[in-house]
């Protein structure tokens, strides 16, 4: 009914040229990500007998036991997981993942044999985890993966629906790190868990963005005045939302806006200048698009 009153929304259909350009752009980030991960493995983690989780961790232990080629193990061990997840996760994602894993396998061989950066276990753990998370995050952000166990967890979670992806991954990695404890020593297993934790935090930062903003909801009798003052002083857009009070049952208006975290003190000052008793609620948001939003300079 709404679309009939206005011009119907025309969705842009990507041409073959658009898809090729998109693939090339993503491939650039896969290459960078694979190189970063391979540096983390070959120059920080492997020389200090610290492993990652998932398929990479399994491959590292297999390479340690057999003295075989790590890049080859990463590629071969991932293949069964890719085939199992083909129907569940779709052809495009699986193709992207296959290319990203092949690039990591090649990059690992490319940097193999380079001199380790440090023999200090804490430094290797922290900086190896940071680089690992950065590389994996770049690849995940560009619609691909390096970890077959993650794909298997998604597939099993969808099929059985009684256990979450996170719980499945935790169980698999618990098994991997327990095996690492027996193989490499329990101190190395603990360092490996710490590396995994650091890497996961960096992955979250890469996926969510470093330039975090705040969404703000302001409840006040002077919503209109507050909104106008915010637009004047901070040069950002606001939205008014009608709500009903739980106790009073009276209709109220919430002033909603998104601001950079550095503008929060100024926003609070502006609000309290108008209404010292205003109720303010803030939440972290990521990757703000489609609104008038002033970023930090």
Supply the angle between the helices 148-160 and 165-184 in degrees, to the nearest 10: 140
Identify the pLDDT of residue 31: 93
80 alpha-carbon distance from chain centroid: 25
Identify the pLDDT of residue 142: 87
Pairing mode of beta strands 213-219, 251-260: antiparallel
Q: Report the alpha-carbon distance of residue 31 to residue 11 in Å, rounded.
A: 31
Computed from CA positions of residues 32, 38, 43, 48, in that sequence, does the dihedral angle turn out positive or negative?
positive
Q: Report the alpha-carbon distance of residue 60 to residue 70 in Å, rounded.
A: 6
Instruction: Domain 213-285: give its CATH architecture.
Output: 2-Layer Sandwich (3.30)
| 8 A C-beta contact, residue 5 and residue 117 | no
Identify the pLDDT of residue 256: 92
For the chain, give every domain's residue range.
16-208, 213-285
Per-10-residue mean pLDDT of the chain, 297 residues long, equals: 48 73 89 93 91 89 90 91 78 87 92 85 93 90 83 73 70 87 89 90 77 83 89 87 79 87 84 89 74 51
Predicted model pTM:
0.75
Identify the pLDDT of residue 105: 92
**The two structure tokens encoding residue 80:** 């069964």
Q: Report the alpha-carbon distance of residue 83 to residue 101 in Å, rounded.
A: 13
DSSP for the chain reads: -HHHHSPPP-PPPPPHHHHHHHHHHHHHHHHHHHHHHHHHIIIIIGGGT---SHHHHHHHHHHHHH---HHHHHHHHHHHHHHHTHHHH-HHHHHHHHHHHHHHHHHHHHHTTPPPS---HHHHHHHHHHHHHHHHHHHHHTT--S-HHHHHHHHHHHHH-SS-HHHHHHHHHHHHHHHHHHHH-HHHHHHHHHHHHHHHHHHHHHHH-SS-EEEEEEE-TTHHHHHHHHHHHH----EEEEEE-TTT--EEEEEEEEEEGGGHHHHHHHHHHH-TT-EEEEEEE-S--SS--PPP-
Pairing mode of beta strands 251-260, 279-285: unpaired
| 8 A C-beta contact, residue 148 and residue 55 | yes
Identify the pLDDT of residue 82: 85
């Amino acid at each position: 009914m709404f679309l009939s009153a206005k011009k119907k929304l025309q969705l842009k259909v990507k041409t073959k040229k658009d898809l090729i350009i998109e693939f090339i752009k993503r491939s650039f980030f896969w290459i960078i990500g694979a190189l970063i991960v391979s540096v983390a493995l070959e120059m920080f983690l492997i020389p200090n007998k610290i492993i990652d989780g998932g398929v990479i961790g399994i491959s590292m232990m297999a390479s340690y036991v057999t003295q075989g080629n790590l890049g080859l193990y990463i590629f071969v061990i991932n293949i069964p997981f890719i085939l199992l997840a083909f129907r569940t996760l779709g052809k495009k994602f699986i193709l992207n993942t296959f290319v990203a894993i092949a690039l990591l396998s090649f990059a690992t061989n490319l940097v193999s044999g380079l001199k380790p950066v440090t023999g200090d276990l804490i430094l290797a753990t922290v900086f190896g985890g940071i680089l690992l998370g950065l590389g994996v995050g770049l690849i995940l952000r560009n619609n691909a993966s390096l970890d077959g166990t993650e794909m298997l967890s998604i597939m099993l979670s969808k099929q059985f629906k009684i256990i979450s992806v996170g719980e499945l991954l935790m169980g698999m990695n618990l098994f991997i790190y327990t095996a690492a404890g027996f193989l490499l020593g329990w101190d190395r297993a603990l360092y490996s868990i710490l590396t995994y934790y650091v890497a996961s935090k960096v992955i979250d930062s890469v996926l969510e963005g470093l330039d975090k903003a705040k969404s703000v909801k302001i409840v006040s009798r002077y919503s209109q005045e507050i909104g106008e003052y915010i637009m004047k002083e901070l040069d950002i857009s606001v939205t008014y939302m009608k709500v009903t009070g739980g106790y009073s049952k009276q209709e109220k208006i919430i002033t909603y806006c998104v601001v950079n975290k550095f503008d929060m003190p100024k926003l609070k000052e502006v609000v309290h200048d108008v209404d010292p008793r205003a109720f303010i609620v803030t939440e972290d948001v990521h990757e703000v698009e489609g609104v008038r939003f002033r970023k930090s300079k």
